[in-house]
Structure 1
Amino acid sequence: YEVNSIPSSSIPRSASQFADVFTRSAIYQHMMEDLHGPVHPSLIEDKAKHIDPIPEFHQNFWDSTIRVVQRQITLTTRDTAFLVGRSVMVILMGLLYSSVFYQFDETNAQLVMGIIFNAVLFVSLGQQAQIPMFMAAREVFYKQRRANFFRTSSFVLSNSVSQIPLGFAESLVFGSIVYWMCGYVSTIEAFLLFELMLFMTNLAMAAWFFFLSCASPDLNVANPMSMVSILFFVLFAGFVITKEQIPDYLIWIYWINPMAWSVRALAVNQYTDDSFDICVYNDVDYCASYNMTMGEYSLSTFEVPTEKFWLWYGMVFMAAAYVFFMFLSYISLEYHRFESPENVTLDNENKGNASDDYGLMRTPRSSQGGGETLVPVAPDSEKHFIPVTIAFKDLWYSVPDPANPKETIDLLKGISGYALPGTITALMGSSGAGKTTLMDVIAGRKTGGK
């Protein structure tokens, strides 16, 4: 809207015209001279005396990290909907797997490897669901990191530590149900190694999806990237496509795939047990037929090495992958942040039609023809009302005590104040301070109490 005035080309109207006039002014020239000129020695002295001694962070690394870990654990425990939903899903999926494949036949290597693969896949895919939560926490981190609340490393460590109890509980419950009901090797050593491998896989995959959340601009990029990574994890895990069937130019994906190391380690943990290191098993002489023991033959069907040390190699790899993914997350959060708006659209300042994007505040739209809207300027008219001053002194208001009807509770205690005509008086106070009660008492809307 514009006020009708005498047409003149020298009068700036648009933002760019005002900017041009300002850049030609003496004020702009003096400001730029001060900006590009040498720094005054007194300012340098003040900086060295007052600013430089102030540390970037007011807490040391360990105190800050402990506080952030406590906060993250509190946030995790408060999310009861996530915890309950995740617990129910883990128990139901564990019962589903174990009931369908209850007490399987150990000689069926395809079935045994399939359950191992699905167990690893379940604990891995479960972490992908946390990407939206990671993205929301990242936005809060950006604001708090700009204010130097804590170090980036403290935030990364807090997220990793907060995942340990969840990962341990999921691996323990799901792994115990699947391991004993499906009929894996009945030794405590093999069971503990099975649980440990699932737990480390859980942490490594959680670290991977946390890194994707840190390195992606938004959720629309993070989710597709996570699905693509899952596709590669599944294809090159050594079960859908065995090692020898993978082309040589893609074999490197197999060796850097955390799921492949986990499946291989769990298979070795199962079939290198002493109960399978025999020639005759279920009336089948494997040494005579295949020149291998029963365990070695079962592993060879999926081209899995038979040495026991591959189990320990798998654990070392998962620990290294966990640390590496957390380090990448730190690099992304510290040096590659997505703090600026992703999609910014600037309307043409000469655009005649009004924007269709209206918020809660609504104003008249300009005509569709794009012409100027003239607003006549008229002198203020006389206001036909009588100015009134509101004043109150030592105002009290009490109501009966519900617990003891003979006693009263004072809601207002000796309140005094005034409001002048032609002014706006604000009542400031926290929720429950009595602002609404005061207004109701002044207006005479209270029917109870005294």
Structure 2
Amino acid sequence: MTSAYVSQYDVHYPDMTVRETLDFSVCCQGVGRAGIKKQVSRRKKGVITPEPVLDAYTEVISTKGTERSLQTYNILEIMGMENCADTMVGDAMLKGISGGQKRRLTTGEMIVGPAKVLFMDEISNGLDTSTTFQIVSRLQQLAHNTEATVVISLLQPPPETYNLFDDVILMAEGKIIYHGPCSDILGFFEECGFRCPERKGVADFLQEVLSRKDQEQYWSKVHESYSYVPVDQFSKIFASSCIGQRLDEELTKPYDKSQCHLNALSFSIYALPKWELFKACMGRELILMKRNSGVYIFKTSQVLFVAVVMMTLFIRTHMGVDILHANYYFGSLFYALSVFLTNGIPELVMTVTRLPVFYKQKHLYPAWAYAIPAAIVKVPISLIESFMWTSLTYYVVGYSPEPERFLRHFLVLFLVHQMSLSLFRFLASYFQTMVASTVSGTSSLVVIMFFGGFILPQPSMPHWLRWGSWISPLTYSEIGLAINEFLAPRWNKISTSNAALGQQVLASRGLNFNSYFYWISVGALFVNILLFNVAFTLALTFRKSPGEPRSVITRRARSKIHGVDRSVTAKLKSSVAPTPAATPTTSTKCKEMGRMALPFVPLTVAFRNLNYYVDTPTEMRKQGYARNKLQLLHSITGTFRPGVLSALMGVSGAGKTTLLDVLAGRISGGSIEGDIRIGGYLKVQETFSRISSYCEQDAVHSPHITVEESLIYSAWLRLPPTIDSHTRTKFVNEVLETMELDGTRDSLVGISGVNGLSIERRKRLTIAVGLVSNPSIIFLDEPTTGLDARAAAIVMRAVKNVVETGRTVVCTIHQPSIDIFEAFDELILLKRGGKLVYSGPLGQHSSNIIDYLEASCTVFPLSLLYFDTVKNTVKGLYDLELDTHLTYIVGKTFNDMLSEDMHFSC
């Protein structure tokens, strides 16, 4: 594989562990053994100077069977995920790793291979500063040492991370503003009349200097009046600059093939032979089947229960061998076929939910390597369910007692179940979405049953409609079961019409076929299974994945646009104003919002000696972890006060989200120890949920309503009924303006990664839905993750406005810029393992936290801390890996905080 693409979306199987996910990626990408084997051979021949350690490493990873676990361990160590290697990835419904850990897993899944060109989209979302710096520094070493090409898009790169890059590409509105060395970009903008302030990160400056609202504050030509410089003008200036002209010359120069590396291109589509890819996909399917064993056990139990019901309905003591009871036999046969036909519906849901992972990994293996194992692993399920059904019902109902007819009955039910599973897999792969697949699945069932021959027998159909019975798989299955039963010896009695009773019964339903037609029916079912599986493979191969996210607006909004709405024009004109933070009108507006806000009671959240335990995951026990309980939080003590914006920071997996979940009462399992008080009273979850709001980092919304309708719906559900409609609507509009969503109020939310709002707008909508409930306490889980510097500043400015109204607001935060970090009033810092490192005010320019760290120099090496900027201070906080928890809890800062916490708890 020559290149790899790391998406901004974290798409993984939630019921696989981190190690298993990386193992599969390592296996499919071949981990580049070919080049390593050549190097080992050259070392053995003495061409390369021997190095014992390096020789041992290359020897191990060049040996088939050992390289997989070693490469997986290596990437786990690089990504800092050793502690969660055996934890389920999880999703919105299954507890798993944190959002930052998922982002690291997405990155590690692709860079673990031998690709020489890496395209990485927003890999720092949800990661702390230290982890981002570590990953990018490793990528820098990879690029420099192996001559790889690495292109990374970042939203909020910290200064130390930005300094690792060699070149930068700055884009806006689809145009190149600058493409060249990082060291020359500030000089380029100074020539354009804009200068980066001393306490401003370069990356934040580059994003804001192109914004119409933020550009003026960076104007450096004091003797010239400022006028907005549009993107087109920046692009033209760059094209005419020496850097732009040099770039143009390089691009127009003919390519020198003599400089091409022999291994630069791969001439095979996949990294491994077909059989190896098949085994890898087969192994993964077995793991997924094991993890979803509860689903299959429930389905089998369901078949068992329905079989018992059928035994009571069609019991043999009430069934005779005559024309009258022949209809009962037909009813029991159709009932069995209907059960097995509808039993395949869960396969549709499971296939749709797994499609995003397949499309992400489509370049790792062919579609058939995914489709064939998906069909094979279901064969034992079909065998078990069909055999159980036949064993329980066949002789109780009173079918023909011959053993061979029992086996034929079982064979038809097995093939019907396999056909049903194959059909629903194909429909899911073709229609791709849950709604479309469900509609097509139910419609297909209606058509198959209508033409199946029982609801409307073939003789009763109009002549122009009889062809439909031959395209329904249910027709062949009914023919097979009917012939198997009614051509048995016991149905050979001569009836009054001088014909065998069984043949007379079959003729009445248009099924008067000879006994050999049973095998024709079996063959037809087998062909249907084959066709549906082939169609499933072709759909996976040729159907494209859902398109990129695009904004969808309603008809009302479209009519406004085409009608040149004057209000929209006025809003566009007003957007030319200077930076909102620097204008007096903005502060006036904030005060006005504070007066307009709905009334609420300011409340303090105080917690002391908070511990949280969960059951040790099974995979960790297999790896040798002996304890039955895993402690995620260790004696956490702190206070969140009204009118104070608190930051909750720590490395990925330190327990930030877990602490928020415990305080908000969103924990469904485990055990909690400690004291939590709201306004001095012990927390009661039933009332606490009415005065608090929790905004998750995953933006989950109804996709088929607009932004404004999402807020109105939330306001209807959560605001008291005493608030009249006019006040509620006014408050919704106020929240829309606060979150700067008023321009997209008529846009449909859409499906994430498919259509609708972008990631940053979804994040703002998530916060707006929480704010519209008018809470006293707001928990925000990583509100700036996935946003660029300006969008993050907008969100935090809105959050600050909420704090000024007297609400209690606490945010988990990753990679804050200097401006965002200094917007917080207090900080709670956690280290790995959920241990408290610091809790207290930041001070002016973070003076308090810096003084505390300087005073702890006996534990913290000063070489880890750089106090020239607040940003580097934050990085220093993340780099602390010693037992800072013990140092903190015996210090003066902890005792002062504990006294304050006791004061607010009273």
- Higher alpha-carbon deviation: 357-366 or 264-273: 357-366
User: Which of 451, 461, 464 is equivalent to 1:249?
Assistant: 464
Are the aligned partners of 1:392 and 1:418 in contact in 2 as well (CA < 8 Å)? no
TM score, norm. by length of structure 1 = 0.77
1:371-400 deviation per Cα after TM superposition (whole angstroms, max 9, x unaligned): xxxxxx9xx99756574534456x9xxxxx
Q: For 2:514, what is the secondary structure of its paired residue?
A: coil
Structure-1 separation of matches of 2:249 and 2:472: 59
Q: 1:129 Cα shift?
A: 2.1
Are the aligned partners of 1:237 and 1:257 in contact in 2 as well (CA < 8 Å)? yes
Q: Does residue 73 of structure 1 match 2:263?
A: no
Q: 1:101 Cα shift?
A: 0.8
Q: Does residue 169 of structure 1 match 2:384?
A: yes
Which protein has the bigger strand share? 2
Q: For 2:399, what is the secondary structure of its paired residue?
A: coil
> What is the 5 A alignment of 1:44-443?
46=260, 49-53=262-266, 55-103=268-316, 104-107=319-322, 108-146=325-363, 148=364, 150-279=365-494, 286=495, 289-341=496-548, 344-345=551-552, 350=572, 354-355=740-741, 357-359=765-767, 360=780, 361=783, 362-364=795-797, 383=845, 387=851, 388-389=853-854, 390-392=856-858, 418-421=864-867, 422=869, 423=873, 424-425=875-876, 427=878, 438-443=883-888
Q: 1:312 Cα shift?
A: 0.4
1:51-101 deviation per Cα after TM superposition (whole angstroms, max 9, x unaligned): 344532222112211221121122112213202211210110000011111
Are the aligned partners of 2:304 and 2:389 in contact in 1 as well (CA < 8 Å)? yes
Are the aligned partners of 2:304 and 2:388 in contact in 1 as well (CA < 8 Å)? yes
**Corresponding position of 2:73:** none
Structure-2 separation of matches of 1:336 and 1:33: 40
Q: For 1:307, what is the secondary structure of its paired residue?
A: coil
Structure-2 separation of matches of 1:418 and 1:391: 10
Change (3 A) 1:336 1:445: farther
1:248-294 deviation per Cα after TM superposition (whole angstroms, max 9, x unaligned): 33323210111111011100110111222231xxxxxx1xx223101
Backbone CA RMSD of aligned residues:
3.5
Q: 1:4 Cα shift?
A: 5.4
- Higher alpha-carbon deviation: 269-278 or 217-226: 269-278
Unaligned runs of 5+ in 1: 280-285, 367-376, 396-414, 430-434
Are the aligned partners of 1:272 and 1:295 in contact in 2 as well (CA < 8 Å)? yes
TM score, norm. by length of structure 2 = 0.40
1:345-391 deviation per Cα after TM superposition (whole angstroms, max 9, x unaligned): 4899949652162444243459xxxxxxxxxx9xx997565745344
Change (3 A) 1:8 1:153: farther
Unaligned runs of 5+ in 2: 1-212, 558-567, 576-736, 743-764, 768-779, 784-794, 800-818, 823-842, 892-906
Change (3 A) 1:4 1:21: closer
**Corresponding position of 1:409:** none
Q: 1:298 Cα shift?
A: 1.3
Are the aligned partners of 1:392 and 1:417 in contact in 2 as well (CA < 8 Å)? no
Structure-1 separation of matches of 2:538 and 2:510: 37
Q: For 2:432, what is the secondary structure of its paired residue?
A: coil
Letter in 1 for 2:393: V
Structure-1 separation of matches of 2:320 and 2:863: 86
Are the aligned partners of 1:391 and 1:418 in contact in 2 as well (CA < 8 Å)? no
Q: For 2:545, what is the secondary structure of its paired residue?
A: coil
- Higher alpha-carbon deviation: 187-196 or 59-68: 59-68
Q: For 1:290, what is the secondary structure of its paired residue?
A: coil
Change (3 A) 1:42 1:260: same
Letter in 2 for 1:363: M
**Corresponding position of 1:399:** none
Letter in 1 for 2:388: V
Structure-2 separation of matches of 1:308 and 1:39: 75
Q: For 2:443, what is the secondary structure of its paired residue?
A: helix
Are the aligned partners of 1:109 and 1:299 in contact in 2 as well (CA < 8 Å)? no
Structure-2 separation of matches of 1:340 and 1:23: 32
Q: 1:25 Cα shift?
A: 4.8
Q: 1:42 Cα shift?
A: 2.3
Aligned length: 392
Change (3 A) 1:392 1:170: farther
Structure with bigger RCO (C-alpha 8 Å, 6+ apart): 1
Structure-1 separation of matches of 2:342 and 2:368: 26
